[in-house]
Amino acid sequence: MELIIQIIAGLVGGNAAGAGLKNLSLGTAGNSVVGGVGGLLGGLLTSFLGGDAAGAAEAAASLDIGAIIQSVAGGGIGGAILTAIAGMLKKALAK
C-alpha cells in the first residue's frame, strides 16, 4: 500500500512541477512517468532516512497516519525533483 501511495504522490508532484516550470515540462505523459518513478524513489529514500525501515513498513501496512504522510511527502517531493531534473537534462541535450 505504501508503494502505491508513493507512486500516486509522485505522479501528482511530477505534474505539478511540469505545470509550474513550463520550460522544463516533459508533457503530461512524461511528467507522469518520471514523477511516478521519482515518487517511488523519494518515498523509499524518506523511509530509509526516517529511521527503522522495517518499522516504517509495518506502520505503513497498518495504515498509520504518520507513515501515510511520510509516503505522500516523500513521493510528491521526489516526483517533483526528478521531473525538474529530467526537464533540465532534456533542455540541455536539445541545444
User: Could you read off the pLDDT tens digit of each residue along the chain, which spans 95 residues?
Assistant: 788 989 999 999 999 998 998 888 888 999 999 999 999 998 888 888 875 555 555 655 566 888 888 888 889 999 999 999 999 999 999 87
Torsion of CA 67, 72, 78, 82, to 10 degrees: 150
Enter the pTM of the model: 0.80
The confidence score (pLDDT) of residue 38 equals 92
